[in-house]
Amino acid sequence: MEWFQMPENQVLEKVNSREQGISSEEAERRLKENGRNVLWERKPKKWFQVFIEQFQDLLVWILLAAAVVSALTDNGESAVVIGAVLTLNAALGTTRGQSAAGWSEGDDSCPGGGTGRHYLAGNRGFGSGGWAAAGKQLSGNG
């Protein structure tokens, strides 16, 4: 059963917490035992990497082959049109990826060169506040 499907009391039991949150001492213990609540993300790809990746598709390779065959059979106009369509497709795919992910560099370092993002209870340990079952906010008071 997924976390979001569990009743609130079952989630609290699984994370060894209560509706009022956990005590400061428990939060400190969990912080020492488990470390900070940080998810590591990889750095976003550069725009040219995303552009090149647009050509890693079977249909694109088939169209590239068709463009080459067209060029070799003195049908250069078709080769140019196919090449232009593929380039436009790659450009649009790159800009779509850019607007969805952004190109900013991370501000925190992490293994693998990514960024750190806090989730749920930040540095205080899971169950010391944040969101749990069915979107009910738990108190951070301990």
pLDDT (tens digit per residue) in 3-30: 889 999 899 999 889 888 889 999 999 9
pLDDT at 60: 93
| Pair 55, 22 in one domain | no
| Pair 11, 22 in one domain | yes
- Please indicate, yes or no, if residue 67 is contained in any of the structural domains: yes
**CA–CA distances in Å: residue 76 to residues 64, 90, 97:** 13, 21, 31
Residue range(s) defining the domain that contains residue 53: 44-104
| Pair 52, 88 in one domain | yes
- Please indicate, yes or no, if residue 18 is contained in any of the structural domains: yes
| Pair 73, 97 in one domain | yes
Confidence of residue 125 (pLDDT cuts 50, 70, 90): very low
pLDDT at 124: 41
CA angle 65/71/72 to nearest 5° reads: 90
Confidence of residue 45 (pLDDT cuts 50, 70, 90): confident
For residue range 93-124, what is the model confidence (pLDDT) as tens digits?
Answer: 888 866 655 544 444 444 444 444 434 444 44
Which DSSP category does 111 fall into? T
Give the mean pLDDT of 57-72.
94
φ, ψ of residue 3 in degrees (nearest 5): -55, -45
Q: Retrieve residue 70's tokens.
A: 């067209």
What is the number of structural domains in the chain? 2
Sign of torsion, CA 126 23 35 14?
negative
CA angle 134/135/137 to nearest 5° reads: 125
| Pair 27, 73 in one domain | no
Residue-averaged pLDDT of the chain? 76
pTM for the model: 0.43
